[in-house]
Structure 1
Amino acid sequence: MLQQPIVLPRDVVRHKEQILVNITPQETRVAVLEDAIVQELHIERAASRGIVGNIYLGRVKRVLPGMQSAFIEIGLERAAFLHIADVLEQRQHPSEPQRIENMLFEGQTILVQVIKDPIGTKGARLSTQISLAGRFLVHLPQEEHIGISQKIENETERLSLKQRLEKLLPPGEPHGYIIRTSAETASDAALAADILYLSKLWTDIRQKSVSLPAQSLLYEDLPLSVRVLRDMVSESTVNVIVDSTENYSRMVEFAEQYVTAAVNKIERYSGERPLFELHGIEAEIDRALARRVNLKFGGYLIIDQTEAMTTIDVNTGGFVGNRNFDETIFKTNLEATHALARQLRLRNLGGIIIVDFIDMENEEHRQLVLNELAKSLARDRTRVTLNGFTSLGLVEITRKRTRESLAHVLCESCPQCQGRGEIKTPQTVCYEIQREIVREARQFDARGFRILAAQPVIDMFLDEESQSLAMLVDFIGKPVSLSVETTYSQEQFDVVLL
């Protein structure tokens, strides 16, 4: 049975950060460094950017009373879809059924936000309830209440955050907000900056909605290079170095308008050597895709990411302590706490994470390892929950999924093993082929058979399995020939009837 979640410390020392931004027409990559060591990697590709969150001035193309929905033209190839359940008035009064034909008419212009990307032949799905995400707050300009993320469970903390926000709102401010989990550690100055940013954003959208024609894009979520300034820059950030002149100007312009504290931290990199190569980021990316993570004193981690969860196994490896075996285990586990917390951020591993530390008999050692792990996890920008040791000696961590993991962004399943991480041996494939030939011989009256397979499989038939092949030929009474197919993977084969 799992113990109660361990409260992560809030008074951890924040190391000085350096943010590197590498931009090409195809993708933007961001690396966050602490003491010259990469802690986070963010990658956004132009080809895979969606439109969720975009706000348009749409035009009603058709109202469908029977489906209680409407098609809205927003300037895309296909008209977008708006259901009555996503109309603001219906969401505000769910117990009072509304009729969409009483709200919309053909040709009407309407402010809408995309809540689901177009898929296949289906158009985007829309809502008339606008929400604008900031770093600590979500602005609901059509609402008049303050909500708090359900992830913030402590009632005292919830009340405190609400009271702080109410004091920071301008007098007579009618608009609604949702306090995000990241606001738990935010200062009043940071919250005030978020309010100012979101208010300016909404004012800009309203002005555009009056001056621009229907089907115009009024707002799209910020590109990664600019989101860095909104979501990552803090008091501990030393500088933000970007290697694109055009984007440097754009980032400075955005900072001057919305995040003034970041203006003087933005620097343009113009060196000969590529920015990421100069700081060793390229090599770090390759290491972040490997299963094994070597620790400084000879131990290592094995990280396996599956659909259901991520498992991290801690091993002593070549580490030999200078006192006794218990001390060796303790030091390895202690070092592993820092490494695994960094790997969670670096690889952006989310969901359930199970850590198998090396077994410790000493209860004091177990508690010290947990305390050190809590300190390491407390530096994570993403919400993390830590539980104590289970009866099996495992530690459970949950980390909020905010985006795809690094491996899912950069990699795909191996076409040979289909993501299993293993392939069948040549001998296994040989036996499969022989069973297939027996089935074919019973079903068809062929003059003979030809085996098409990869080189290792053919070599196996010519060497170790030559006797079994001869026995097969004698059993079916038909000749069998062999042919190497260089394009086949080790598991691929064909049996051709002659």
Structure 2
Amino acid sequence: MRQDLFIDVNEYETRVALYRDEILQEVHIERDGRYSLTGNIYRGRVNRVVPGIQAAFVDFGGDRSGFLHVRDVVPGGVGGVDSDKKDAEENSRDQFEDALDIRSALHEGQSLLVQVNKDPIAGKGARLTTKLTLAGRYLVLMPYNSRIGVSQRIREETERERLRNLMDDFRHEMSSPHGYIVRTVAEGVPIEDLEDDVEFLERLWRQVTEKAKAAANGEAVYQELPLHTRALRDLVNAQVQSIAVNDEDTIEQVKDFVASYMPEYIPGLMLAADSEYQKDKLDEELAKALMREVTLPSGGYLIVENTESMCTVDVNTGRFVGSKNLEDTAFKTNMEAARVIARELRVRNIGGLVVVDFIDMDDAVHRCDVMETFEKSFEGDPNRVQIGDFSEFGLVELSRKRTRKTLAEQLGEPCLRCSGEGIVKSVETTCFDL
């Protein structure tokens, strides 16, 4: 399937939209002065250790202390500014985590390196981890882990084995104890490209550790790439046919990045000739993504309700009455919903617990077909998704990893006409649209 990337930049915000066969699949937005913290590494200080929830609160320079759970603490207490990375190799990770108590791992006043896992959301502080990672084009470096992992989306066993062997060879040549995850885009790439990525990440980690030694508490020692270059690193794959940018200054930065890290995509890079049309098209898609109701192709519809505790999706036949019987109508509507829900969650960036109320079906084969279609629809989702089976009440539960604010939180505000139950465009978003 063809994919296209559109990068929309103005003086107030940057928007990156990924399309598949001209249908919006994913959108990222950063506004001036309110950038995502996810991926940034800071020198932090433990403010409070709370045994009752097996967590600590860490001052990392944010507006409020970040939350660090015991599961996100590296075995052996690694993650401190002066800690020895070899400690991580000598610990059995599973045994350590089963027995770990937050009081034995951290203490008040302790200085340590933390990375933001999740942006502050709904009045909650950022979620932190000491299991640091640095992402490259093809690889993710794990300085406090020694294992080699390969993306599950690379399914051919011979290729998986090739990549594992190459990574072992690179680590041996460089005398590196660090672990790596091989990303999906590394499938089939030449040895030289992987080696360049290893050298880049090892060099970057050395820079981080050197900066950390002199950093004050609350100071950033590593900051993620700007949105437009981060999107190129994370979203561009073999299916992407074009990268359109609407800003002349930004396209020069994009050209430099593409030439250095993915030169094969230079022919598809262009200054958007019809940027106003593309911008208006994106505005229209985003307006739809703020609405509760989503229309299905045959006339059915979804009602998407997102609350602080969970998201619920109700599937309805609407004006679609089918041509055979109720079972057939329910099956066709559910099949359409199974394909659309995955896209809606991704575009709206809804994470956490999601409960889908499909229309009741008596036929077990139909239920299996809907579940198979539903699971397949999430295959391109970059966030980790876990899907349960139909419950006895016809509900399907899933969890989707949440790392940043939802689209509604970024673009909207509570509707005063309905006592805050609905979402409308914020004043700021409306001004940007003018």
Q: 1:45 maps to what in 2?
A: 31
Q: 1:196 maps to what in 2?
A: 196
Would you say 1:355 and 2:382 are equivalent positions?
Answer: no
Q: Structure 2 counterpart of 1:86, which letter?
A: G
Distance change in 2, residues 1:420/1:260 (3 Å): same
Q: 1:240 maps to what in 2?
A: 243
Alpha-carbon shift at residue 93 of structure 1 (Å): 3.8
- Picking from 69, 78, 87, the partner of 2:81 is 87
Q: What does residue range 464-483 of structure 1 map to in structure 2 within 5 Å?
A: none
Maintained 8 Å contact 1:136/1:179: no
Alpha-carbon shift at residue 219 of structure 1 (Å): 4.9
Q: 1:139 maps to what in 2?
A: 141
Q: 2:18 maps to what in 1?
A: 32
Maintained 8 Å contact 2:140/2:183: no
Maintained 8 Å contact 1:27/1:45: yes
Maintained 8 Å contact 1:86/1:126: no
Q: What does residue range 150-165 of structure 1 map to in structure 2 within 5 Å?
A: 163-164=164-165
Maintained 8 Å contact 2:136/2:201: no
2: CA distance between counterparts of 1:405 and 1:190?
Answer: 37
Maintained 8 Å contact 1:86/1:129: no
* CA offsets 1:136-166 (integer angstroms, 9 cap, x no match): 643245x5722559999x9x99x96983453
Q: 2:372 maps to what in 1?
A: 371
Q: What does residue range 95-494 of structure 1 map to in structure 2 within 5 Å?
A: 115=115, 131-134=133-136, 137-140=139-142, 145-146=146-147, 148=149, 163-164=164-165, 166-167=167-168, 169=170, 171-180=172-181, 183=183, 187-189=187-189, 193=193, 196-197=196-197, 199-203=199-203, 219-271=222-274, 273-277=276-280, 280-415=281-416, 419-421=420-422
Alpha-carbon shift at residue 135 of structure 1 (Å): 5.2
SS in 2 for 1:311: strand
2: CA distance between counterparts of 1:415 and 1:308?
Answer: 21
Alpha-carbon shift at residue 368 of structure 1 (Å): 1.2
Q: Structure 1 counterpart of 2:260, which letter?
A: Q
2: CA distance between counterparts of 1:128 and 1:393?
Answer: 40
Q: Structure 2 counterpart of 1:37, which letter?
A: I
Alpha-carbon shift at residue 335 of structure 1 (Å): 1.1
Maintained 8 Å contact 1:146/1:162: no
Alpha-carbon shift at residue 333 of structure 1 (Å): 0.9
Maintained 8 Å contact 1:18/1:239: yes
Maintained 8 Å contact 1:53/1:113: no
* CA offsets 1:204-260 (integer angstroms, 9 cap, x no match): 67579999xx77987531011001111010001101111111111111111222233
Q: Structure 2 counterpart of 1:341, which letter?
A: A
2: CA distance between counterparts of 1:184 and 1:375?
Answer: 17
2: CA distance between counterparts of 1:282 and 1:118?
Answer: 24
- Uncovered stretches (5+) of structure 1, i.e. residues with no partner: 1-14, 59-71, 77-82, 105-111, 423-498
2: CA distance between counterparts of 1:359 and 1:73?
Answer: 49
Q: Structure 2 counterpart of 1:28, which letter?
A: T
Alpha-carbon shift at residue 385 of structure 1 (Å): 1.8
SS in 2 for 1:241: strand
Alpha-carbon shift at residue 418 of structure 1 (Å): 5.4
Q: Structure 2 counterpart of 1:115, which letter?
A: Q
Distance change in 2, residues 1:346/1:362 (3 Å): same
Q: Structure 1 counterpart of 2:269, which letter?
A: I
Distance change in 2, residues 1:351/1:114 (3 Å): closer
2: CA distance between counterparts of 1:73 and 1:183?
Answer: 29
Would you say 1:22 and 2:8 are equivalent positions?
Answer: yes
Tell me whether 392-401 or 229-238 shows the greater mean CA deviation.
392-401
Q: Structure 1 counterpart of 2:197, which letter?
A: Y
Maintained 8 Å contact 1:334/1:372: yes
Alpha-carbon shift at residue 382 of structure 1 (Å): 2.0
Tell me whether 396-405 or 260-269 shows the greater mean CA deviation.
260-269
TM-score by length of 1: 0.62
Alpha-carbon shift at residue 409 of structure 1 (Å): 1.4
Q: How many residues align?
A: 373
Maintained 8 Å contact 1:114/1:125: no
Maintained 8 Å contact 1:87/1:128: no
1: CA distance between counterparts of 2:341 and 2:145?
Answer: 42
Q: Structure 2 counterpart of 1:285, which letter?
A: L
Tell me whether 162-171 or 368-377 shows the greater mean CA deviation.
162-171
* CA offsets 1:178-219 (integer angstroms, 9 cap, x no match): 455x846851428974653352254367579999xx779875
CA radius of gyration, larger in: 1
Distance change in 2, residues 1:186/1:394 (3 Å): farther
Maintained 8 Å contact 1:312/1:354: yes
Maintained 8 Å contact 1:245/1:268: yes
Distance change in 2, residues 1:274/1:370 (3 Å): same
Give the percent of matched residue pairs that are identical in Structure 1 and Structure 2.
Answer: 33
SS in 1 for 2:141: strand
Maintained 8 Å contact 2:3/2:20: yes
Distance change in 2, residues 1:223/1:414 (3 Å): same
Distance change in 2, residues 1:129/1:291 (3 Å): closer
After superposition, the CA RMSD in angstroms is 4.8
Alpha-carbon shift at residue 177 of structure 1 (Å): 4.5
SS in 2 for 1:354: strand
